[in-house]
Amino acid sequence: MSTVTILPGDGIGPEIVHQAMRVLDAVNTSMNLGITTEEHVFGGAAYDKHGDPLPDVTLNACRNSDAILLGAVGGPVYDKAPRDLRPERGLLRLRAELDLFANLRPAMLFPELADASSLKAELVAGLDMMIVRELTSGLYFGQPRGIEIRDGVRTGFNTMVYSEPEIERIAIRAFEIAMQRGKRLCSVDKMNVLEVSELWREVVERVGQSYPEVELSHMYVDNAAMQLVRAPKQFDVMVTGNIFGDILSDAAAMLTGSIGMLPSASLDSEGKGMYEPIHGSAPDIAGQGIANPLATILSVSMMLRYSLNKAAAADAIDAAVSKVLKDGLRCKDIANDAAANEIKIVNTDEMGNAVLSALNNAS
Ligand code: NAD
């Protein structure tokens, strides 16, 4: 038995989570997965109801579950809320409270969508890589930090810091993920300039000794940025620190050209995780029933694979999504090739229906 907390959130969140839940319910029933779900308010919706984007009842439910599925939070109506009570603050607090230190950002491109990329189709068609980014330490959290007067000059400063245990746990997570994929791991650092990277590389190599099947390589971050836009298909799993991962994972996501397609996960050291699409609450299209639910449906697949240990169910969902794309169904955001006759533009509900019927037909 496993428990999943569902946080629909704001904007298009409830619309896309509704479709993802239909898909989760379908595999749960047909494959007898024994998953129970519990829905809670979070983000702006929770601020409206409880005056707090992360009320205790929601936090406790998340603490007591095996995984969390989140839609998205935020929206312009909350811009005037006190800073600490804004929806996005609730999200940062939830990640910190659950110690979700490993951020998994896959960059995958279904061959049918290769034309949506800004790179040549042959460079990206079939791209399937995973960036594992350390999320709770490094330059964004290091002390000391601040802006002060030094010798009469205003000076801003931050500290890039990693302890051995922090590097070790993200490295272990990355090697484990590489073992479930293509068994190749590229660790990205700036060892030629930064001491913190020297320690990073040393610890990653040491952890690697316990994973002899995984082929480990190292790359400087500047080269990694070049390689991502030159030949992204060379990568299987990439592991890196907070700031490098922030920048590289956005670049990798954009290679796919379709924000409505990409899931993500943030994991703790036990494997509990929060799963969410990489996009936000899209207030510009909320309520219109046209949001693409596939990133959230693929987040369910990631959750089954990485937190709930149900790889067969995850494979079934991935195959169903692949099938609907092959059949020419597109939500508006990925309909770049809509001029072609075989493409059919569908709304949120129709896309959910299509994935469900692909799942049913396959089983
Ligand atoms: P966004 O990702 O919400 O939207 C960017 C653009 O992509 C918009 O044009 C939107 O319509 C489109 N888009 C996004 N998801 C889509 C989908 N599934 N289907 C079709 N089109 C889609 O980014 P934004 O506009 O910068 O942010 C809106 C709000 O979301 C803000 O309040 C922001 O703080 C919040 N946000 C939340 C998260 C999160 O919950 N993890 C992440 C990013 C942004």
Q: What 3-state DSSP class applies to 270?
A: coil
Q: Whose CA is nearest to atom 7 of ligand 1?
A: 282
Q: Is 79 assigned a catalytic role?
A: no
Residue 340: its pLDDT value, please?
57
Q: Is 306 assigned a catalytic role?
A: no
Residue 341: its pLDDT value, please?
59
User: For the chain, which domains are there?
Assistant: 1-109+262-363 (3.40.718.10), 128-255 (3.40.718.10)
Residue 129: its pLDDT value, please?
96
Q: Give Cα 26 distance to the centre of its chain.
A: 23
Mean pLDDT by 10 residues, the chain (363 residues): 97 98 98 98 97 98 98 95 92 92 92 83 91 94 94 97 98 95 97 98 98 98 97 97 94 84 93 94 97 97 96 97 94 73 90 97 83
Q: Is 48 assigned a catalytic role?
A: no
Residue 174: its pLDDT value, please?
97
Tokens of 302: 């990631």
How many other CB atoms are there within 10 angstroms of residue 198's CB atom? 14
- Which of 85, 279, 351 most suits a substitution to test ligand 1, by most atoms within 8 Å of the C-beta? 279
314 C-alpha to center of ligand 1: Å?
25
73 C-alpha to center of ligand 1: Å?
9
H helices, E strands: number in the chain: 12, 14
Q: Whose CA is nearest to atom 16 of ligand 1?
A: 260
Among candidate residues 10, 97, 4, the one with its CA nearest the CA of residue 56: 97
The tally of CA atoms less than 13 A away on the side-chain side of residue 112 is 17
Q: CA dihedral defined by 138, 139, 143, 145, rounded to 10 degrees? A: -170
Provide φ and ψ at 356, rounded to 5°: -60, -40
Instruction: Decide if 278 contacts 108 (C-beta within 8 A).
Output: no
Q: Whose CA is nearest to atom 26 of ligand 1?
A: 280
Residues in contact with ligand 1 (CB, 6 Å cut-off): 12, 16, 72-75, 88, 91, 259-260, 276, 279-285, 291-292, 295, 331, 333
Instruction: Decide if 213 contacts 183 (C-beta within 8 A).
Output: yes
Exactly one of 10, 246, 268, 333 is catalytic; name it.
246
Instruction: Decide if 343 contacts 330 (C-beta within 8 A).
Output: yes
How many other CB atoms are there within 10 angstroms of residue 283's CB atom? 15
As a whole number of angstroms, the distance between CA 40 and CA 340 comes to 42
Residue 257: its pLDDT value, please?
73
Amino acid (one-letter) located at 341: N
**What is this structure's pTM?**
0.90
